[in-house]
A and B are shown apart, each in its own frame.
Chain A
């Protein structure tokens, strides 16, 4: 948990679904970057978001807070934030907080994609 830990954020699109891939550390220092990315996406009218945690090594409470900040707005607009491919360690933290009761958490990004698409059809 040193200050050198960086967060890299990658964007991908699949039809109208945006996939945000987080790489590295999501803590109090890097949370604002993630928050801005999400905010920009929503401002651009993107309401279907999958966050891929495959390459995320660590998440702190500040990082979790970012997800909470937007979920309500996005759901009001018939969108959702789905979480995919969490490592065991990251999942444990989500699980402890009760996130599985609040978010769709899938072991594979494609499952999340399909959920969005089925919703579409």
Chain B
């Protein structure tokens, strides 16, 4: 059913009920005046149950969504509803006073006018009772604990029992004394259980002093008024309540119960506030500290990309607010002594202190948070008051990052003994959090740098990979293959296949001294030199001398390159080899494998006069299944898992074993073989192998 229609229906039936009751009362009154207050219990009981029940139901329907009050809305709820409840209680008291003083005992409901007036009054009391119960239950419910629900149920049952007992009272069903005792017990029970209803009162603690005093005052008023009302609802001489009891029996008991509950809650609130009142200031301070620490922790988590000055300034600012200090300054000792920031104090004054040797060395002695309660009474710090008299008490907060003392935060008050050990405790937390924040930002910086370095290295690696031939050009009569593994991301090994001025193909291998970035740098230069010199050279020695000339004269003296060159004179196996300080050629020819080492000095070690003097060319005729292998020293000097050098033997053996004379196959075998020997992935030199195999089809 539509809520609006149901609401209208409820109101209509309420009005109808009240009218029925009123008409019935008028009829009763016209028959006999005494009937209305005495022997009408069934009429009275039924109609009052219906009216009160309907009113409660209506209230419940209207406000069932308001029963869950959030923690931070409780004060708002109290500000409005508490004042409203107090106001209602005052009106009840006012009505009570008026009725007691201006009506006499004879003016019971005896005429139609009084009947209507009193009916309206009693209806008002029912409304008050419902609002009261509603307010009280909302209050308890919003601060509920584990068993609150059950206790409220017990309370409702006790109230129902009381209502039944009170109704029986007028039927003389039972003994009067028994009745009074039962009522007394149940009322006491309701009072007790109301007082001990489980509910949280911690929200009171968080209130400021002013709010607490206001609530204390309101709860006191409510307690007094409530007590007067409760006592009088059980007082037979009270005109208002006695009539209510006779005239609206159920309403009367409901009204009593509502006020018992309400009053007891107020008494409880009164004592709770009273209890927490003296600690208000301290609590407010602690509350502020907790807020600030929460903020501090959040700030620390967010400060990851902030610089240290910003972190220190923000945290020092927070430290001042937390401790209520009058001022502060931050000293920083990294590089030079400097004041990062000051609060409410001129930095010139602090620099003056530093000049007088009153800061750095003294503060550095404290590796933990330290409190100076009185500057003037402290032997070490007393001289400070000569220069900055407003510093009367001081807290020294050392700043660390990765166990390194970076600086100090000083917070001061211009009152002696104004800072205490509580503040030291809190500042300890600040000190720890500063450390975390600084370390975080340091780590962040490092990881960004590393990331940057990594990506730059990646670019360098890509560039270098492009300097080595992606695919080897075809040399008629031969098949070639190569592999190169740099020691770090980049290396100094170089190989290439170029064409000399006379059109002869030429294989070059080079090893720049050193490794890593500097070697890769020279390797890139070498590529350019080789390309330009090969256009003017016709023989291996011409090419190497040309390269040496440039390298020796232009590159720093401690850098040199070892190189080997194979020039292919024809497609039938005639080759010329030359070596400039490089490792020997490993040559398989006529079924033998041997190391051949023509004379030659490393490129860049001597001027062309000496270099040329010693440089030797050797011509060879390769026959069936011949191969020439060029390696760099990363291969033969590779430190293997059994701590010996890889040497030449594995290469010689493989060269002997290989059957199909395929360079690519040989390189694959070399790769696999090397994998098995590499002991330390991270620690080897650049490794390059270049393999040239003579094609069988070109034999003649």
Contact = CB atoms under 8 A, between A and B. Distances in A.
By CB atoms of chain B within 10 A, which of A64, A71, A98, A102 has the most?
A98
Interface string A38-69: 00000000000000000000001110111011
Given A62-B513, A62-B514, A98 B557 contact: no
Interface string A78-111: 0000000000000000001111011000000000
Interface stretch (B79-87, B291-299, B407-415, B596-604): B596-604
Interface in B644-700: 680, 683-685
Given A65-B560, A97-B562, A102 B601 contact: yes
A72 interface: yes
Contacts of A68: 557-558, 560, 604-605
A119 interface: no
SS class of chain B's interface: helix, strand, loop or mixed? Answer: loop
Contacts of B637: 1
SS class of chain A's interface: helix, strand, loop or mixed? Answer: helix
B186 interface: no
Nearest to A66: B558
B560 A61 contact: yes
Interface string B556-579: 111110100000000000000000
B513 A64 contact: yes
A9 interface: no
A10 interface: no
B583 interface: yes
Given A1-B684, A68-B557, A102-B606, A28 B514 contact: yes
Interface in B353-377: none
B491 interface: no
Given A65-B558, A97-B562, A102 B514 contact: no
Contacts of B683: 1-3
A96 B610 CA distance: 16
Interface in A1-21: 1-3
Nearest to B514: A62
Given A1-B639, A3-B683, A69-B557, A98 B515 contact: no
By CB atoms of chain A within 10 A, which of B557, B559, B562, B604 has the most?
B557
Contact of B602 (A2, A35, A98): A98
Contacts of B559: 65
B614 interface: yes
Contacts of A64: 513, 560
A62 B558 CA distance: 8
A64 B597 CA distance: 20
B514 A98 contact: no
B511 interface: yes
By CB atoms of chain B within 10 A, which of A3, A60, A62, A68 has the most?
A68
A65 B513 contact: yes
Nearest to A58: B637
Contacts of A99: 601, 605
Interface in B366-411: none
Contacts of A3: 683
B685 A98 contact: no
Contacts of B685: 1, 60
A103 B91 CA distance: 119
By CB atoms of chain B within 10 A, which of A2, A61, A69 has the most?
A61
A20 to B, nearest CB: 16
B581 interface: yes
Contacts of B511: 61
A72 B556 CA distance: 12
Contacts of A61: 511, 513-514, 560, 562, 633
A9 B343 CA distance: 56
Listed from nearest, the 7 A-B pairs whose CB atoms lie closest are A98-B601, A65-B558, A61-B513, A69-B558, A97-B581, A97-B602, A62-B514
14 contacts: A1-B637, A2-B680, A60-B685, A61-B514, A65-B514, A65-B558, A68-B560, A68-B604, A71-B557, A96-B582, A96-B597, A97-B605, A98-B606, A102-B606
Interface of A: 1-3, 28, 35, 60-62, 64-66, 68-69, 71-72, 96-99, 101-102
Given A64-B513, A98-B581, 10 more contacts: A1-B684, A1-B685, A2-B639, A28-B514, A61-B513, A68-B557, A96-B562, A97-B581, A101-B606, A102-B606
